[in-house]
Structure 1
């Protein structure tokens, strides 16, 4: 018998299924990533390029740079 996914969610059946998925959100920063962020920021690379190089969101990259008191160039 097949059960609709909405019913599964409502009754908590899907919780075991979703644990198998890899979630990239809120991953801790590694020392290598932090060093690369510092290097790229000091070179004057734009936020978008740094985020792409680190495979992180622009928001996450900006927040980490702010926490480390780094200024990132805003290229227009």
Structure 2
């Protein structure tokens, strides 16, 4: 049985924050950000709100 990789409530590392800011500034969508950072969409939204970042919503 394969082990599950869980990142539940892990603190944000400075490298992850820098990557989030860079990718959000480039206009990357929420789903893509979550995949790139291996975090949940909810986690990305919450951190972006705390940092005052604007996340693109694709429809």
TM, length-normalised to structure 1: 0.69
For the pair shown, the structure with the greater C-alpha radius of gyration is 1
Tell me how far apart the structure 1 counterparts of residues 48 and 8 of structure 2 sit (CA, whole Å): 18
Runs of 4+ in 1 over 6 A off after TM superposition: none
The corresponding residue for 2:51 is 68
Which runs of no fewer than 5 residues in structure 1 stay unpaired? 1-21
Cα deviation for residue 23 of structure 1 reads 4.8
Which runs of no fewer than 5 residues in structure 2 stay unpaired? none
Aligned residues: 56
Q: CA RMSD in A?
A: 1.5
TM, length-normalised to structure 2: 0.88
Greater RCO (CA < 8 Å, at least 6 residues apart): 2
